[in-house]
Amino acid sequence: MRRTVALLAAVLALAGTAGCGGDGAEPGVPKGATLVLDFVPNAVHSGIYVAGANGYYRDRGVDLHVRAPGESTDAPKLLGAAKVEFAILDIHDLGIARERGIDLVGVAPIVQRPLAAVFARADGPVRRPREMEGHRVGVTGLPSDEAVVASEVEADGGDPEAVDEVTIGFTAVPSLAAGKVDAATGFWNAEGVALRDRGVPIRVFKVDDFGAPPYPELVLTTSRETLESDPELVEAVVEATRQGYEVAEEHPGVALEDLLSANPELDEAEQKEQLQALLPVLHPRPFDQAVLREWAAWDLRHGLLEKPLDVEQAFSQGG
């Protein structure tokens, strides 16, 4: 699973199922709304599919349509243009969108910790983050990856400028498996599981163990317009989603069944492993404002944000 990619052909595909608010809705008829995922459906979204399969959204008067992003989906722009009501965003993308003038608001965390990590071959020379100095480290090309590498090396007493970063796109798994790089960035719940399945011996350096605060990587997000014009819809979706993740946390087998039932193309064994890895961070509690302020400062220090973020405006206190 990777963070949200860019840019806009999905607007037409989604417009027909979105824009769903309450205009002219008959009493007792569920209100339609659309949620765009950050990536193709996978274990991190299990609570959403639990909530859908068990009627938690409908019980609260919402007919929620869940959509995977297309190649050109830009979820922040879809939210800002009122083409969809909700999206799962990487927290960095939420901050960047706000800097670009798109008034988005995070209303609930989907995971409680960062998923970003650096993987190093266990049979290679990188035994700790500072030992990335002088070695080839694969990054996707996203600024957030460079921030992860810099944070980890610096926190471990090394010099980030001495790292030989190589842009490899989203090929961390085959690149490490083939020994093309000594380390690479990725998500520990996805690439980490895939590497172990391939039998690649790895060391995992999670970013919140090396310099970053324990920020929520993925965030349920809406627009300011939706939050203010239809707070009941937002509250209903947040509550139903939380209920779904409570079930996923307590009954992962049920969550896996609901995920696979909605997405039969997924590999059951892989998703089971991912879900087991994610269980400790799926607990659906509200945002910790102190942690969010630490995250915003971390993003600013590493160049992901250009100016201080107003955390109180960017995240709902109720979330």
Residues forming beta bridges with residue 184, ordered by sequence position: 119, 138
Residue 26 has pLDDT above 60, yes or no: no
Return the amino acid letter for 281.
V
Domain count, the chain: 2
> The CATH number of the domain where 151 resides is what?
3.40.190.10
pLDDT band (50, 70, 90) for residue 283: confident
pLDDT in tens, 40-52: 999 999 999 999 9
pLDDT averaged over every residue in the chain: 91
pLDDT in tens, 193-248: 999 999 999 999 999 999 999 999 999 999 999 999 999 999 999 999 999 999 99
The bridge status of strand 136-139 relative to strand 183-187 is parallel
Does 267 lie in the same domain as 126?
Answer: no
Does 126 lie in the same domain as 94?
Answer: no
pLDDT in tens, 303-318: 999 999 999 999 997 6
- The last residue of a domain, from among 141, 174, 209: 209
Domain residue limits at 107:
10-113+215-314
Does 221 lie in the same domain as 96?
Answer: yes
Does 198 lie in the same domain as 69?
Answer: no
Q: Which of the pair, 284 or 134, is modelled with greater confidence? A: 134
pLDDT band (50, 70, 90) for residue 170: very high
- The last residue of a domain, from among 149, 176, 209: 209
Q: What is the dihedral of CA 137, 140, 146, 149, to 10 degrees?
A: -40
Q: What is the dihedral of CA 251, 256, 65, 230, to 10 degrees?
A: 30
Does 85 lie in the same domain as 234?
Answer: yes
pLDDT band (50, 70, 90) for residue 138: very high
pLDDT band (50, 70, 90) for residue 90: very high
* Average pLDDT of the residues in 265-283: 96
Domain-embedded: residue 5 = no
Query: pLDDT value at position 2?
Result: 40
Domain-embedded: residue 3 = no
Does 273 lie in the same domain as 194?
Answer: no
Contact 83, 14 (CB under 8 A): yes
pLDDT band (50, 70, 90) for residue 284: confident
3-state per-residue secondary structure call for the chain: CCCCCCCCCHHHHHHCCCCCCCCCCCCCCCEEEEEECCCCCCHHHHHHHHHHHCCHHHHCCEEEEEECCCCCCCHHHHHHCCCCCEEEEEHHHHHHHHHCCCCEEEEEECCCCCCEEEEEECCCCCCCHHHHECCEEEECCCHHHHHHHHHHHHHCCCCHHHEEEEECCCCHHHHHHCCCCCEEEEECCCHHHHHHHCCCCEEEEEHHHCCCCCCCCEEEEEEHHHHHHCHHHHHHHHHHHHHHHHHHHHCHHHHHHHHHHHCCCCCHHHHHHHHHHHHHHCCCCCCCHHHHHHHHHHHHHCCCCCCCCCHHHHECCCC
Q: Is 0.85 topped by the overall pTM?
A: yes
* Average pLDDT of the residues in 276-283: 94
Does 202 lie in the same domain as 123?
Answer: yes
Does 16 lie in the same domain as 109?
Answer: yes
Does 21 lie in the same domain as 148?
Answer: no
